[in-house]
Amino acid sequence: MSAKRSHSATSVHVSSTAVSKDTLRQLLEELLQRLLDDSLPAMDQGASVVRALNVLMLKILENADQNDAFSVLLQLLRSSATLMMEMPADTVRPKLTELVMKCLWKMSKVRAHGAI
């Protein structure tokens, strides 16, 4: 697998072919879990970390292979919805499902308007 790189003063862009679909799934799952960490906002600099994680998620979705990103997000949505249905009603935490849906909405917006 080859990766095309272009360098600028502020960023390095690696071609989306450099990331497998499985790796993208693992990365998005980890970012989603970090964004849902209830203790994060209470930490020193927690708000800044949450903002940085949100920006990172948007940049990943913006630069990833769009088909792979949609596929991974739909798989995550299905998994989270299934998990919600299996849990007792009083313990359901729909935050993961909501966050994945927000990501899908952002991806759809990109397709419609060309930018996140």
83 neighbors 93 (Cβ within 8 angstroms): no
Under DSSP, is residue 74 helix (H, G, I), strand (E, B) or coil?
helix
Average pLDDT over residues 27-48: 91
| In a domain? residue 11 | no
pLDDT value at position 111? Answer: 74
47 contact partners, CB below 8 Å, separation of at least 6: 41
| In a domain? residue 70 | yes
- The domain of 105 spans 18-113
Tokens 């299905």 belong to which residue?
A: 78
Tokens 């998005």 belong to which residue?
A: 28
| In a domain? residue 78 | yes
Total number of domains in the chain: 1
pLDDT digits (tens, 9 = 90+) for 43-99: 999 899 999 999 999 999 989 999 999 999 999 999 998 888 888 766 656 888 999
| In a domain? residue 92 | yes
Tokens 């071609």 belong to which residue?
A: 15
